[in-house]
């Protein structure tokens, strides 16, 4: 299988370490009109601390703006922002708010591009506990215009994945569909944080983080209304977040930590490609690697793409967010 001709255009920190907060994590990216990008993440004293808020920065004219707070549920930790734009104009920001992961709820806000302001925070689904809507990775707009959000729920004893569906561009959410999982085959809690793509109309797929040392996968042939039992794949996973994007020719690009150990190290971040709908993968490039420091962390990537550009962001040692722009060169 032939690799893609990728050229690194930018590889930079979005902001200086320690300039705004002690720690940050879990970035998300969205592209708007005129090649404007937005990145968001949560930051504060540390993950789970009451002072964590959702921060953001805008990439315009080849520069990232100074980080600012987008949303904050005062006195309650914020987690896992997800940016989504159904039309490259409107911007929705989803994030979790809660003292604990099992008890968190999903909140959302919308962005005014002209005024650079965010609307008042609302609950995504009233009285929901556990987290409807996207949990880490971006929703995708299917060929029938339905928006599908990759989701999961974490309790003390088990992890489960599901998808949420929206018919109004992600403002309200209707049915949610669980992904079947045979728990008798597991050694750990399960699967969470799907990343999804549609290979042809109605044929939707997901890769999932797992506790089993590898990525899991599930497939749907009816626009996400039903899913096959999630099954293990050969791709190693250290029980850390992943993300993927599909290029215009159907090629998939996957960013992950390819280390086969539950709660394994996060000191290797690699970009893979697949030309056969995610059944086999080829290493494209190592993005970050630090074998000397076992505590180094390059994790929780986000990745999006256009016709000839690939954009990614990821946590860098919990001190900053790194931005990566790759150009797809014609062969």
- Predicted confidence (pLDDT) per residue in 136-162, tens digit: 999 999 999 999 999 999 999 999 999
Is residue 1 domain-resident?
no
205 by Cβ neighbours in 10 Å (0-12 / 13-18 / 19+) ranks as buried
Q: How many domains does the chain have?
A: 1
Contacts of 254 by beta carbon, 8 Å cutoff, 6+ apart: 195, 207, 235, 242, 243, 244, 271, 272, 273, 274, 278, 281, 303
The tokens of 124 are what?
């995504």
Ramachandran area for residue 102 (φ above 0: left; ψ -120 to 50: alpha; else beta): alpha
In a domain, 263, yes or no: yes
pTM of the model: 0.97
* Structural domain range at position 128: 6-328
CA dihedral 199, 153, 192, 135 (to 10 degrees): 60
pLDDT 10s digits, 239-290: 999 999 999 999 999 999 999 999 999 999 999 999 999 999 999 999 999 9
CA-CA-CA-CA dihedral for 216, 106, 53, 61, to nearest 10: 70
**Domain annotation covers residue 39:** yes
List the beta strands (DSSP E) in 117-202: 117-118, 122-123, 140-141, 147-154, 159-166, 176-178, 191-200
| Residue 114 counted as domain residue | yes
CA 234/CA 192 separation, integer angstroms: 17
Q: What's the CATH code of the domain at 159? A: 2.120.10.10
The predicted pLDDT at position 295 comes to: 79
Q: pLDDT category, 51, cuts 50, 70, 90?
A: very high
pLDDT tier, 313 (very low <50, low <70, confident <90, very high otherwise): very high
């Amino acid at each position: 299988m032939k690799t893609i001709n990728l050229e690194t255009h930018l590889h930079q920190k979005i902001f200086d370490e320690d300039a705004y907060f002690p720690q940050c994590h879990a970035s998300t990216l969205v592209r708007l009109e005129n090649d404007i990008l937005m990145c968001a993440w949560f930051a504060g004293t540390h993950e789970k601390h009451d002072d964590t808020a959702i921060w953001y920065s805008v990439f315009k004219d080849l520069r990232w703006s100074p980080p600012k707070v987008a949303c904050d549920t005062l006195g309650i930790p914020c987690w896992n922002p997800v940016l989504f734009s159904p039309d490259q104009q409107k911007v929705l920001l989803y994030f979790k708010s809660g003292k604990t992961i099992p008890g968190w709820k999903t909140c959302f806000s919308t962005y005014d591009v002209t005024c650079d302001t965010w609307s008042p925070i609302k609950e995504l689904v009233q009285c929901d506990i556990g987290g409807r809507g996207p949990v880490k990775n971006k929703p995708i707009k299917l060929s029938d215009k339905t928006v599908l959000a990759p989701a999961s729920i974490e309790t003390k004893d088990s992890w489960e994945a599901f998808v949420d569906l929206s018919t109004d561009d992600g403002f309200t959410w209707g049915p949610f569909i669980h992904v079947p999982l045979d728990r008798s085959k597991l050694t750990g809690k399960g699967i969470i944080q799907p990343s999804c793509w549609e290979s042809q109309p109605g044929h939707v797929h997901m890769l999932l983080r797992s506790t089993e040392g590898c990525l899991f996968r599930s497939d749907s042939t009816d626009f996400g209304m039903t899913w096959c039992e999630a099954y293990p794949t050969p791709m190693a996973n250290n029980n850390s977040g992943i993300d993927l994007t599909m290029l215009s020719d159907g090629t998939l690009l996957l960013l992950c930590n390819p280390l086969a150990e539950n709660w394994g190290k996060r000191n290797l971040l690699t970009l893979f490609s697949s030309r056969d709908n995610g059944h086999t993968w080829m290493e494209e490039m190592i993005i970050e690697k630090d074998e000397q420091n076992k505590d180094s962390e390059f994790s929780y990537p986000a990745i999006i793409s256009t016709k000839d550009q690939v954009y990614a962001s990821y946590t860098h040692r919990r001190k900053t967010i790194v931005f990566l722009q790759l150009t797809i060169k014609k062969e």
